[in-house]
Amino acid sequence: MDETDRLNASAGGCGAPPEPQDRNRAPAGLTREYRSGHVSVLWFAERCIHAADCIRLLPQVFDPERRPWVDVDAADADAIARAVLACPTGALQLGPHPTGPREPVPEGTTVTTVRNGPDFVRGPAEVRDASGGLIREDTRMALCRCGKSAHMPFCDNAHRATRFRDPGAFPAPPAADS
Ligand code: SF4
Ligand code: FES
């Protein structure tokens, strides 16, 4: 286990999610694979904002206090796949595996605003920069809404440290003319 695997993402490693109130300081591109005979789980450390859906759903597999923090032998492949697909940021993904579950591609795409937090995108989507360059193509992402992320345009949990407040309630669009 190298140093980056020992440290959590608050401290600049990929050993585990950041602390709930900290911004993610994992360097760009740090990825780990956790693999068994039944499933492959990929961990994109810089994308995690400690939404903790994985930890709530399957604490015996996803334990931020343990190293390695993901134990793919602690549950069956279907249960692990359900927890991975619940990750709203795409930090967890199902990796290629000859017999294991695959990442599904949902038909529709939704954007859901989180109170005091990011926009969660779910479904096939491309994020492009102002000149049209592709930044990321994925089916789960968290887009920064507070303007303080160091990983723009993605959320890095800065909204918590800076106490961003916005209820995410928007006026209804005007009714279409009949
Ligand atoms: S569900 Fe995703 S964003 Fe949340 S703690 Fe797990 S890996 Fe991180
Ligand atoms: S909304 Fe999370 S860092 Fe901006």
Neighbours of 102 (CB within 10 A): 11
For 162, residues 6+ apart whose C-beta sits below 8 A from its C-beta are: 146, 148
Residue to mutate (ligand 1; options 84, 92, 151; most atoms within 8 A of CB): 92
Q: Which domains does the chain have, with CATH numbers?
A: 3-94 (3.30.70.20), 110-161 (no CATH)
- Ordered per-residue pLDDT tens for the chain, 178 residues: 788 999 999 999 999 999 999 999 999 999 999 999 999 999 999 999 987 899 999 999 999 999 999 999 999 999 999 999 999 999 999 999 999 999 998 999 999 999 999 999 999 999 999 999 999 999 999 999 999 999 999 999 999 999 999 999 988 888 877 5
Distance 31 CA to ligand 1 centre (A): 14
Beta pairing, strands 40-44 & 110-113: unpaired
Residue 127 β-bridge partners = 136
